[in-house]
Amino acid sequence: MAIRWGNYRVKGLHDELIQTAGKPRPYAQDLCDYLKGLSDKDVNELKAAAESAIHVMGITFRVYTEEEGSIDRAWPFDIVPRLIDKSEWIEIERGLKQRIKALNMFIDDLYNDQKIIKDGVFPASMLKKSKNFLEECRGFSPAHGVWAHICGSDLVRDNKGKVYVLEDNLRVPSGVSYMLENRHVMKRVFPEMFEKYSIMPVDDYPSQLYDMLAEISPRKIEEPEIVVLTPGIYNSAYFEHAYLAQQMGAELVIGSDLVVEDDDCVYMRTINGLSRVDVIYRRVDDWFIDPEVFEPDSLLGVPGIIRAWKAGNVALANAPGSGVADDKVVYAYVPKIIQYYLGEEAILPNVPTYKCNNKEEREYVLENIADMVVKPANESGGYGMLMGPHASASEHEKFRKLIIQDPRNYVAQPMLTLSTAPTMVGTKVEPRHLDLRPFILSGKEVNVTMGGLTRVALVKGSMVVNSSQGGGSKDTWIVDMEGDQ
């Protein structure tokens, strides 16, 4: 047999599917029994079927290397799904809804009355040095007070199984197309399991996204014109931009396809002339979205788009300036933010975080840097980080100097031992560390995907799950055990 669960070792780790050596968690029993019955030949055929489906569907991501420049690679995918019991997911969903509601209230407050600063809950110095606070957005409030319409919060478990929010992605979060395509692949590879389990669907995401975008349209018409604004084919997430536009029946556009006229409305250039645009799901960073306001040399954005947005003639999702809350220093304040705006304790805890701009916390970090993960405030994709336990003494010293030079730009966290899940290595299964990125849509209501994008570190022992740095992904099944037959 290819897979012997008795040989699968998870000592000292929390595994998503296996409780102790050879004993699956109750909701994973049927899947583990099925996998146990596969021969090496069966496993290779299933992997080949998954790779073929990925190739046929054209699922790629773009990476940048010094040697090869930008290249497209097939999406790295593991055929063993990650399972979560629906009863546990309901509580996670509650926590995510609470979190995004408070964060949107926080952003709206910062751009208007700044009550949280006046009340001494959030330091004015933090805002003053924020790279993502845009003065150009002051005095404005989007529809429903929602700035971050699409959020991707990264969740992790520690070695005791406790779920933490690792970070919030509120600017232009990516990955949802891979969540959707992972499900399509799994339905082809494991159709038997979809008959065996009650697996909560994720394929309604594009229609939920469309409905949310339509309801923030400034023109209350039956079919508002929605477009997806992409930086173009060389962007690492271009596959996703094209995929979501196609799934929603929206136009995929680049900056030069749009123009702002004298009436401060946005129009799309078509073969039949100009057509007014109501909602722009933009995948272009703030700094490049409007050369009139931000980077004057940008060719990715649309001159005048901020003017049209502030005039209330077009909706932008996510709203410019929402990145003020997508800051790893702000992250440290989220439990206080939830308490301040909602009068509630955070349902989902943060990872303990040390703010390097605080003298006592900074000294602790500098003394214990070999045991810490140090993160810059506004980087993403795993770049610019120090993984203390895996770094050299010279790297520790380099980051001490960086912290001392610019303490506001760094936070540090103890290194969590992330949970694992069985992952195919050849025809065997071995534990690999993973995280989870659910996607939260905020309009009049808040909707959370039933699961999300599980990213897995394919390198043994590694905690780095980003696809750009050697990670892969799994399908995520929220299983309704009470609904199973």
Tokens of 173: 């979060």
Q: How far apart are CA 428 and CA 400, in angstroms?
A: 42
Number of residues in the chain: 485
pLDDT at 67: 52
Q: Mean pLDDT across the chain, nearest whole number?
A: 90
CA distances from residue 84 to 25, 60, 78, 225, 477 in whole angstroms, order as listed: 10, 26, 17, 37, 6
Q: At what angle do helices 359-367 and 393-405 cross, to 10 degrees?
A: 170
Question: Burial of 414 by CB count in 10 Å (0-12 exposed, 13-18 middle, 19+ buried)?
Answer: middle
Answer with the residue of higher pLDDT: 466 or 420.
Answer: 420
Question: What's at 326, amino acid-wise?
Answer: D
Domains along the chain with CATH numbers: 93-150+201-342 (3.40.50.11290), 354-414 (3.30.1490.270)
Question: What's at 443, amino acid-wise?
Answer: G
Question: What's at 16, amino acid-wise?
Answer: E
Q: Name the pLDDT band for 229 (thresholds 50, 70, 90).
A: very high
Answer with the residue of higher pLDDT: 67 or 328.
Answer: 328
Question: Burial of 257 by CB count in 10 Å (0-12 exposed, 13-18 middle, 19+ buried)?
Answer: middle
Q: How far apart are CA 175 and CA 438, in angstroms?
A: 9
Q: Name the pLDDT band for 485 (thresholds 50, 70, 90).
A: very low
Are the beta carbons of 61 and 239 closer than 8 angstroms?
yes
pTM for the full predicted model: 0.92
Answer with the residue of higher pLDDT: 381 or 223.
Answer: 223
**Count of beta carbons in the 10 Å neighbourhood of residue 399:** 23
Mean pLDDT score, 19-41:
90
Q: Name the pLDDT band for 72 (thresholds 50, 70, 90).
A: low
Answer with the residue of higher pLDDT: 70 or 45.
Answer: 45
CA distances from residue 441 to 96, 136, 151 in whole angstroms, order as listed: 11, 25, 7
Secondary structure of residue 43 in the 3-state scheme = helix
DSSP type of residue 454: E
Question: Burial of 260 by CB count in 10 Å (0-12 exposed, 13-18 middle, 19+ buried)?
Answer: buried
Percentage of the chain lying above the pLDDT 90 cut: 72
pLDDT at 65: 47
Q: How far apart are CA 3 and CA 21, in angstroms?
A: 13
pLDDT at 426: 86
Runs of H (alpha helix) within 229-380: 238-248, 286-289, 305-310, 328-331, 334-342, 359-367
Q: Does residue 343 have a pLDDT over 90?
A: yes
